[in-house]
Amino acid sequence: MTTVHPSMVNSPIHDSTRTAGLSLDGVTTRRAPRDVATTRRGRAEMAPARHAPALADRVVRRTVAARVAAGAFAEAPLAEGLRRRHGWEG
């Protein structure tokens, strides 16, 4: 699993948020934290991943499988492999 935290890298990508008053200054550090939740919901969602990773994996697998079965990714070319792995032919 790969997690990308663009907010942890001080780069021009943040110029627009800085201009809008949503500065991430002070968030960047020499050694960025592994995971950072910015909302209450985010913290609640990250807790199982930290403390019960197998449970979190099962929840994510079931959620993705249900969304694939419902056709949520039917029109997404980038999701072709995901649909195929879940046996969706729609």
Domain-by-domain residue ranges, the chain? Answer: 1-36, 38-90
Cα(80)–Cα(90) distance, rounded to whole angstroms?
11
Cα(69)–Cα(85) distance, rounded to whole angstroms?
12
User: Which residues have a Cβ under 8 Å from the Cβ of 88 and sit 6 or more positions away?
Assistant: 68, 69, 71, 73, 74
Question: What is the pLDDT, as a whole number, of residue 25?
Answer: 67
Cα dihedral 80, 81, 83, 88 in deg (nearest 10): 100
Write out pLDDT tens, residues 10-39. 677 778 877 887 766 666 566 666 777 778
Higher pLDDT, residue 38 or 1: 38
| pTM, full prediction | 0.52
Question: What is the pLDDT, as a whole number, of residue 41?
Answer: 84
Q: How far apart are the first and last CA of the chain?
A: 27
Question: What is the pLDDT, as a whole number, of residue 35?
Answer: 73
Higher pLDDT, residue 11 or 63: 63
